[in-house]
A and B are shown apart, each in its own frame.
Chain A
Amino acid sequence: MIDYIDIRQLIPQRQPIMMVDALVEADEQSATSRLIIRDNNFFLQEDGCLGEVGLIEHMAQTASAHAGYMAFKQGVQEAPIGYIGEVKGFCLYMLPKKGDELTTTVQIVLQAGNVTVVNAMTKVDDSLVAETQLKISLKE
């Protein structure tokens, strides 16, 4: 566990598309986040499930929160802005629904300049929800 830091210090996104509640673990190479799917979630579908793109955004914002945490530890006050450059090998195993709590872990595969490649995996309890590789570019 890491000390609690307001997520708004770690990611630049604001409502209605803040897709991480908190960063719960982090080290140099990996980080874990949590998100409860509430009924006002921007990516909620009519059937009460979170749309796949909501999952991808949540995974990307976990990577962003990780970058924000590393920057925060170095005294940077403003969360860095990152953009998704590529989604590769996304696999959906189940669609989570309203009320579910997502737990997502990102692992850095490669870091070069302002580009980071991560593997991301999302679970609800012990069930695998989705996994993917993401390329994220941080704004210079």
Chain B
Amino acid sequence: MMLKDKYFKVNDCTKGEGLSADYSISLLEDCEVYAGHFPGEPICPGVCNIQTVKECMMLLTGEKSLSIRKVKRCRFKALMSPQTVRQLNVHIDAAKHDDGYTVVARIYNAETDFMEFNGEMSS
């Protein structure tokens, strides 16, 4: 995977009913991405958080590759820095259909909602 064990690592996973789960993850502060985003001011790239949702979906479904076909809407509600935010939860609610999966996901911790994602992925 592109970002697992590089940008984030999975600490724990609680599976819910059907295709739903809550992943407890940590951000890896020494990820090379922060050298450029931004120099001297590490901010988590929003797109890396979308990729984190995709990789959690791959873990949940066992799919070796998934592609994000559509993003109905993805809102970034708060900025995140690996210096101040270490622990996060990625909550996924997915449904399988003929063409792939509908994915509704949220990245949050006890204090803050960081991201809401609603889209379609397929293998």
Give the B-binding residues of A (Cβ under 8 A).
12-18, 42-43, 45, 47, 51-54, 56-57, 60, 81, 83-92, 95, 132
* Given A47-B65, A53-B48, A54-B47, A87 contacting B74 (CB threshold 8 A): yes
Q: Can you name 7 extra interface pairs (CB under 8 A) apart from A14-B37, A51-B2? A: A13-B36, A14-B38, A17-B33, A17-B45, A18-B36, A53-B68, A86-B73
Per DSSP, chain A at the interface is mixed
Q: Are A90 and B68 in contact (CB under 8 A)?
A: yes
* B86 lies within 8 A of chain A by Cβ: no
Listed A/B pairs (13) with beta-carbon separation below 8 Å: A13-B36, A13-B38, A15-B35, A17-B36, A17-B45, A52-B50, A53-B68, A86-B75, A87-B50, A88-B72, A90-B119, A92-B70, A132-B71
B24-44 CB contact bits vs A (8 Å, 1 = yes)? Answer: 000000001101111101010
Count A/B pairs, Cβ under 8 Å: 87
Q: Are A83 and B67 in contact (CB under 8 A)?
A: no
* B82 lies within 8 A of chain A by Cβ: no
Q: Are B36 and A15 in contact (CB under 8 A)?
A: yes
* Given A17-B37, A87-B74, A88-B73, A95 contacting B45 (CB threshold 8 A): no
Q: Are B35 and A90 in contact (CB under 8 A)?
A: no
* Given A52-B68, A83-B43, A89-B72, A12 contacting B48 (CB threshold 8 A): no
Select B73's contact among A43, A47, A53, A87, beta carbons within 8 Å.
A87
A83 to B43 CA separation, bound complex (whole angstroms): 9
* B79 lies within 8 A of chain A by Cβ: yes
